[in-house]
Structure 1
């Protein structure tokens, strides 16, 4: 099984604080002027055995999309040993054009370069168009040390358990900068009502002692393998503000499948220091309140399996139970008394009172409506030569422009049909519409 490796990277034109768009607020954003962590991640992949195509998805604010793609292409060009396809705004336009041609619909919110879920869905569409039967998601702030990383990623995927249960998605785990898989959660009085780190540590400690593969209550989105039988049937939720990886596990359960934990599949997660833990907690508020409302709504849909918090003990069950909003507000208030980013925690408490509640109520049903269209869309795009060819042409054009040399342009022309002129992006668009 030959997987495609997909790496989302989030670029900003400047350092900024979260705004009104809860979806397009990210934990880790690389400013245009900073080198970022992507190069380190790509360098670590150079030693991985059996590595094929790597797709880098470039999510950026609209005024800086072209600059962000150029920045990422420049980083990619420093690793010529890798086969990397950069997907930015120009390539997204090709995807949407092809979807419109196939009468799939725009799906502009559901598949795109804004929001964790939509970005991952774009990765799945690209993988599907190229005909890959498995996807491995990484994050750009990770380092892979094991040359057999992909071999471990594919262990058991697509196979049946002894009880005949198919393994269609699996996750590994992260080591932090201290070499530990445990959360750095702080056992302090202001966290009394929000024991997220303790609950996670209890769960993973047990999972690490178990068999190599076990049903998972947790997902590391930067160490996630998904078989085509899962990703062609089930999309990520584009309306969740963060935690789209854990949400995908819940979605799989609702639709009759599961994610498995592999305690022999590991990488290092080395994120830059967060600019504001208070703002991150605000995103968590949107996430957990939305998740709670979504699970509540799903229980009214007779064609779905019910997922109850008690089945998700010790984590994340306690964060999906009644009384969630009260615990969030108390925690935000207590943290605002002692932690440095007091204003951010006050904003978080305010969000719990109204903004997050309103957002969840307005959007909790939309994912299930989207799911009616996703399998048909993926069926039409599976192995789509027109789209995959257009994406390759666009990538070759971008590489030639980034190189700024006639030789690169000649190489691009030699690699594809003579009718392709890498200097004409309009030609790419015409080819997809023929």
Structure 2
């Protein structure tokens, strides 16, 4: 296979900031005057076998796009052995212009550099333009310690199980700084009605005891691989504030597919100190309330498969059940008493029956409207020679300030070889002897 590794990175004027839009708030953004974690991530990829094209997507605050690109290209220029293409606002503008030429209109909310999902969709569009048959997402605060990381990423991808079920999307897992894959969420009195960590731990413990590949109820967005047959058909949801990776699993299920968990594929997640707990939980409130309304709406559509909370036990089913509004509000109030950042938690509690509820009701149907457009969009831009050439020229003509960027980091290579050490002739017609979760 010929996978492309996609690494989004977020740049801001300051390390931590709040945004007017709940969708444009990120767990961590690197300020212009700080090194950040990207260099550490790229350094860990040097010894990965079969490493092919890497695309770094640069998301930044309005007004600093050029500075952000210069900073990131300065970082990537230090890794001449890696085939890295840095893409940002100029490349996005080329893509949007091409959308308009093809009669698709501008889709700036859906495919862009603002919001986790829009950024991932931009990465999928890039993957399709250059003809890659798999997209592997990696976070910029990840460290890859396994030289076979990429081979494991595409293991089984595009093949069939013994029951004839295609494996079109995969997730691995991460070890945290303490060397464990279990959630460190505290089982404290203020989390009585919000046992997210406990539910996740129960799920992953079962998955780690099972076969190498099993149907997944969880997605690690920083260790995620999508076959082209998945990403050409199903997009990420630009209206979900966070948790777009888990949401993608739900989207796939509604449209008749699934994500598979590979208990042999992992990386290490070493994030910097992030935004305030209260502000992050406020974004979680938007997320889960929106997800609930979206699932309810999806169940009214006759052309979609039913996805019910009972089929997602022990996680995330409990967070998709009715009554989520009350539970999340009580949790925010309890945390305002027992956790730091009291004021932010109180603001979060206030948002439940106000702006968060309004946001969910206003936007819960929009993803399905976009989904009508997505497959046609991907068909039109697939291997588009005009757009591909424009993107290559745009990337190649923008050297890092004060650095001589090697030719290997200037453009995007068109897939032509077995980059990940996997038989390039392997298709979904080849069956794997894989176990399946009951």
**TM exceeding 0.5:** yes
More helix by share: 1
User: Corresponding residue for 1:402?
Assistant: 401
Residue 2 of structure 2: SS of its match in structure 1? coil
Per-residue deviation at 1:15? 3.9
Structure 2: segments with no counterpart, 5+ residues: 414-438
CA shift digits 1:167-226 (9 cap, x unpaired): 000000000001100000101101100000000000000000000000000000000000
Cα RMSD (Å): 1.6
User: Corresponding residue for 2:305?
Assistant: 305
User: Corresponding residue for 2:126?
Assistant: 126
Paired with 2:352 and 2:65, the residues of 1 have a C-alpha distance of 32
8 Å contact kept, 2:16–2:274: no
Residue 240 of structure 1: SS of its match in structure 2? coil
User: Corresponding residue for 1:196?
Assistant: 196
User: Corresponding residue for 1:275?
Assistant: 275
Paired with 1:77 and 1:17, the residues of 2 have a C-alpha distance of 28
Per-residue deviation at 1:388? 1.5
User: Corresponding residue for 2:208?
Assistant: 208
Per-residue deviation at 1:408? 7.1
Paired with 2:74 and 2:355, the residues of 1 have a C-alpha distance of 39
Listed as ranges, the matches of 1:315-326 within 5 Å are 315-326=315-326
8 Å contact kept, 2:6–2:138: yes
1:364–1:227 Cα change, 3 Å: same
Q: TM-score, normalised by structure 2?
A: 0.92
Per-residue deviation at 1:382? 0.4
Paired with 1:149 and 1:19, the residues of 2 have a C-alpha distance of 35
Paired with 1:403 and 1:90, the residues of 2 have a C-alpha distance of 20
Paired with 1:90 and 1:395, the residues of 2 have a C-alpha distance of 9
Paired with 1:19 and 1:82, the residues of 2 have a C-alpha distance of 34
User: Corresponding residue for 1:166?
Assistant: 166
Per-residue deviation at 1:403? 4.5
Paired with 2:331 and 2:325, the residues of 1 have a C-alpha distance of 10
Residue 147 of structure 1: SS of its match in structure 2? coil
Paired with 1:289 and 1:18, the residues of 2 have a C-alpha distance of 21
Paired with 1:330 and 1:41, the residues of 2 have a C-alpha distance of 38
Q: TM-score, normalised by structure 1?
A: 0.92
1:346–1:412 Cα change, 3 Å: closer
CA shift digits 1:392-434 (9 cap, x unpaired): 11111112x53466x979x989x9xxxxxxxxxxxxxxxxxxx
1:222 aligns with 2:240: no
8 Å contact kept, 2:332–2:346: yes
**Structure with greater contact order relative to length (CA < 8 Å, sep ≥ 6):** 2
8 Å contact kept, 2:183–2:201: yes
Paired with 1:23 and 1:293, the residues of 2 have a C-alpha distance of 17
8 Å contact kept, 2:77–2:406: no
CA shift digits 1:257-293 (9 cap, x unpaired): 0000000001000001223111111111000000000
Paired with 1:11 and 1:382, the residues of 2 have a C-alpha distance of 29
Structure 1: segments with no counterpart, 5+ residues: 416-434
Query: Aligned residue pairs: how many?
Result: 411
Paired with 1:408 and 1:12, the residues of 2 have a C-alpha distance of 27
Paired with 2:202 and 2:92, the residues of 1 have a C-alpha distance of 41
> Which stretch has the larger CA shift, 196-205 or 97-106?
97-106
Paired with 1:383 and 1:63, the residues of 2 have a C-alpha distance of 32
Residue 217 of structure 2: SS of its match in structure 1? coil
Paired with 1:262 and 1:230, the residues of 2 have a C-alpha distance of 17
Paired with 1:260 and 1:85, the residues of 2 have a C-alpha distance of 29
Paired with 1:17 and 1:153, the residues of 2 have a C-alpha distance of 33
User: Corresponding residue for 1:362?
Assistant: 362
User: Corresponding residue for 1:36?
Assistant: 36
